Structure 1
Amino acid sequence: MTAEEQKADGHMPLCAMPRPSASTPSVALDGPPVSPVARIRMYSPDEWEDFIREWATALDETYVQIKKLGGAGDKGADIAAFKTDQQFEGPWDCFQAKHYEKPLSFSVAAAEILKLFTSVVEGAYTLPDSYHFLAPRALSTPFNMMVSNPTTLRKNFLDRLVKGDKLVEGLHEATLDAVRTLAAATDFSMFKSVELLDALTTHRRTRWHAARFGTSLPARGDSETPPDDYTPDETRYLQQLLAVYAERWPDKITTLESVADVPRLRKHLQQQRVNFFRAESLKAYSAGAVPPGTFERLQDDIHSGVIDIAEADHPDGYARLGQVLAHVGSLDLNRHKLINYTDIDDRKGICHQLANDDRLTWVEEE
């Protein structure tokens, strides 16, 4: 059949098929990134409480402890932030997590406010200094207006504290009277709402933000320069270095002070101190940039990567140290979030941290 006959018969040869349009989708499997707002809206209620607890650590207020209490028996306090060791018996702030598919309405919030006042009346805790509603889809417009007008919010709440209202159904009359008295005397400006974008801005200052949302880490500042005098935190790894020097040059090295008399060793010791302080600066940086345990896992992987070299046979401790410091730079540590902010000297410094904790030993003890 000719091409003309195929076309007349309703069949088109492949060579005559039109080219795909330029808008044909890519075969790449990755899609557009999920924004933090969209990611939060997919959270479970428990994940939302975790986020709020993290967020609270970056607030300007200084808290001695922040507890996640959400769940059965929390008495209306999902997250409690204590300002003193007196905890619930002293000043504190309450953060209420409401992860719903719709904006938070007054009818839902009123039940939480009632739970708060009832718990205070029953002696579960003192009235908090502030009570914050946090909802991924924000507050409904009418409720947001009430929160912005504390007197109106109090009036609307008191209007619900009457027999027959579903809000107070099952509440003992004496408790209802006590709640009504307490609410009437309370400044309702204590009730606040936190907008999601504002919460995210604050959360960026926490050590959990980059890990939670897959963003880049904050910039790392300059490392601390080793002071002229040795510090107590350097004691053990310096003892190990001294053992290395004294083993190879027993006629010249007896103390750390004597190292200064050998130019080659003086430079070597100074560089090891620079490396150690770089690693200490990385550790301090990690405390504000990544979740707890992240730096320690990097240390563990470096230890696992060099321990076979450290425990192999070497002519002496100086050779063992040199082989370990050379090998640590070749380790594949790309799974670690911190590695993009870590250089070779940081890795070498971590080896000295491990020696400081006696997890690495340069000179075999008899």
Structure 2
Amino acid sequence: MSTLRPNQLVIKAGALPPSLMVRHFKPDEWEEFIERSALQCEVNGRKYHQVKRFGGPGDAGRDVEARLTGALTVDQWDLFQAKHYKAPLTPGEFFPELAKFFLHLAAGTYPPPRRYFVCSPQNAGPDLHDLIASPAKLKQRFLTDWAAGKTGMKNLVSGLTSEVRAVIDAFDFARIEECLLRDLLAWHAIDHVTHCRIFHIEAERGDDPTMPVLPTEDELIYVEELVAVYSEQGSAARTVEEVMRTAYADHFTDCRMEFYCAEGLKRFSRDLFEHDEFAKLLDMVLKGVRTAVSSPRHSVGLDRLDAAVSRASSLTLTDSALHGRLRGGDIAGTCHHLVNEKKLRWIK
């Protein structure tokens, strides 16, 4: 038996994967990306109270400030340092920013953060990674290089005063962590709509479910309504098996096929959309077909069914998030789903 092609999110033709696309961001776009990611991040099961991007001149060494509480207090905020380079981050690129951080910490610009996150599109290179993984070595190397004016800090030597050194000595370098790109992307993806828009990701509809030979319990209501429609037309059939031996067999099967087309759309909505877009579509269709079904011109159920399907097929449904992925049979199938949910009836 062949495997059904699944519903999935795919990158549009010609677009780069997110992990590569971020490498082409401008520095301010990288900061905005980190800000949006931090907005979705949870700390101990709770999102940050406030996330604000500074960036640029005057940021005091904090590109993004994420507060755990309303006030900016000791250990109740996280600092996200955004460094955007064409290669993995090196100590020479990071240390000057860290020096700026300690200068502002000593000046009282802000209190010590709970975490200092280093964010770079290609993460930290081997040298910086190993230093961050060993806080004691990081502190020693940083202090030694600053005092000697090495690793990009040649013009910062005079800033290493006794007061600043005391702040560095008191600071726990284990608070400095590398924030991996994969984690930033995972947080960013929580805001599904924004993530897909920025990274050119679209929902691809897979194969619709295969219609079983006999109706399932999930089809019971609309199937019974169809049997009643045929009975009203003079059919003596009272069960599905009996209907399948009458002139109504093809119509019955076609209606079921339409139901399963719409069922595929329903699962597509469930699998890939944040909100229940299928329910919204059903509501649009219901509002559009209600007067056609209730028209006094229709005296029998088959006429109401045909009127509903005809009206539904003529509706403009571009406001639906599913509009671009509709297939033949979907809209007719929504009418049967509405019956199955007891929102429409063919027999009065």
TM-score, normalised via structure 1 length: 0.56
In structure 2, C-alpha distance between the alignment counterparts of 1:102 and 1:327, rounded to whole Å: 55
In structure 2, C-alpha distance between the alignment counterparts of 1:223 and 1:248, rounded to whole Å: 31
- Pick from 266, 277, 284 the counterpart of residue 294 of structure 1: 277
After superposition, the Cα gap between the structure-2 partners of 1:205 and 1:72, relative to the gap in structure 1 and judged at 3 Å, is closer
Contact 1:333–1:339 (8 Å) recurs in 2? yes
Task: Please name the residue that 1:71 is paired with.
Answer: 49
Aligned-pair CA distance for 1:215: 3.8
In structure 2, C-alpha distance between the alignment counterparts of 1:354 and 1:234, rounded to whole Å: 11
Aligned-pair CA distance for 1:227: 0.8
Aligned-pair CA distance for 1:224: 1.3
Identical positions, percent: 20
Contact 2:313–2:331 (8 Å) recurs in 1? yes
Counterpart secondary structure, 1:283: helix
Aligned-pair CA distance for 1:166: 3.8
Task: Please name the residue that 2:89 is paired with.
Answer: none
Task: Please name the residue that 2:181 is paired with.
Answer: 195
Unaligned runs of 5+ in 1: 1-34, 54-65, 80-95, 117-131, 170-175
In the TM superposition, what are the counterparts of 1:162-177 in structure 2 within 5 Å?
165-166=166-167
After superposition, the Cα gap between the structure-2 partners of 1:208 and 1:99, relative to the gap in structure 1 and judged at 3 Å, is farther
In structure 2, C-alpha distance between the alignment counterparts of 1:168 and 1:350, rounded to whole Å: 68
Contact 2:40–2:47 (8 Å) recurs in 1? no
Unaligned runs of 5+ in 2: 1-20, 52-64, 69-77, 86-93, 144-162
Are 1:272 and 2:255 an aligned pair? Answer: yes
In structure 1, C-alpha distance between the alignment counterparts of 2:118 and 2:319, rounded to whole Å: 34
Task: Please name the residue that 1:328 is paired with.
Answer: 312
Aligned-pair CA distance for 1:222: 1.7
In structure 1, C-alpha distance between the alignment counterparts of 2:217 and 2:230, rounded to whole Å: 20
Q: Count matched residues.
A: 265
Aligned-pair CA distance for 1:232: 1.8
Contact 2:229–2:346 (8 Å) recurs in 1? yes
Aligned-pair CA distance for 1:229: 2.6
In structure 2, C-alpha distance between the alignment counterparts of 1:242 and 1:78, rounded to whole Å: 62
After superposition, the Cα gap between the structure-2 partners of 1:70 and 1:282, relative to the gap in structure 1 and judged at 3 Å, is same
Contact 2:132–2:178 (8 Å) recurs in 1? no
After superposition, the Cα gap between the structure-2 partners of 1:260 and 1:199, relative to the gap in structure 1 and judged at 3 Å, is same
In structure 1, C-alpha distance between the alignment counterparts of 2:302 and 2:79, rounded to whole Å: 58
Are 1:217 and 2:202 an aligned pair? Answer: yes
Task: Please name the residue that 2:9 is paired with.
Answer: none
Task: Please name the residue that 1:337 is paired with.
Answer: 321
After superposition, the Cα gap between the structure-2 partners of 1:155 and 1:287, relative to the gap in structure 1 and judged at 3 Å, is farther
- Pick from 231, 237, 248 the counterpart of residue 233 of structure 2: 248
- Pick from 204, 216, 240 the counterpart of residue 231 of structure 1: 216
Are 1:146 and 2:100 an aligned pair? Answer: no
After superposition, the Cα gap between the structure-2 partners of 1:360 and 1:43, relative to the gap in structure 1 and judged at 3 Å, is farther
Counterpart secondary structure, 1:329: helix
State the one-letter code of the partner of 2:252. L
- Pick from 320, 334, 341 the counterpart of residue 357 of structure 1: 341
Task: Please name the residue that 2:286 is paired with.
Answer: 303
State the one-letter code of the partner of 1:333. L
State the one-letter code of the partner of 1:272. C
Contact 2:259–2:333 (8 Å) recurs in 1? yes
Aligned-pair CA distance for 1:106: 4.3
In structure 2, C-alpha distance between the alignment counterparts of 1:323 and 1:106, rounded to whole Å: 71
Counterpart secondary structure, 2:274: coil
Task: Please name the residue that 1:173 is paired with.
Answer: none
Q: 1:92-117: per-residue Cα shift (whole Å, max 9, x none)?
A: xxxx784869898547699999626x
Counterpart secondary structure, 2:323: helix
Q: 1:253-300: per-residue Cα shift (whole Å, max 9, x none)?
A: 22222111113x111111111111111111212233333232222222
State the one-letter code of the partner of 2:181. E
Task: Please name the residue that 1:126 is paired with.
Answer: none
Task: Please name the residue that 1:262 is paired with.
Answer: 246
Are 1:282 and 2:265 an aligned pair? Answer: yes
After superposition, the Cα gap between the structure-2 partners of 1:113 and 1:232, relative to the gap in structure 1 and judged at 3 Å, is farther
TM-score, normalised via structure 2 length: 0.58
After superposition, the Cα gap between the structure-2 partners of 1:292 and 1:168, relative to the gap in structure 1 and judged at 3 Å, is farther
After superposition, the Cα gap between the structure-2 partners of 1:209 and 1:357, relative to the gap in structure 1 and judged at 3 Å, is same
Are 1:346 and 2:324 an aligned pair? Answer: no
Aligned-pair CA distance for 1:331: 0.6
After superposition, the Cα gap between the structure-2 partners of 1:192 and 1:334, relative to the gap in structure 1 and judged at 3 Å, is same
In structure 2, C-alpha distance between the alignment counterparts of 1:195 and 1:115, rounded to whole Å: 20
* Cα RMSD (Å): 4.8
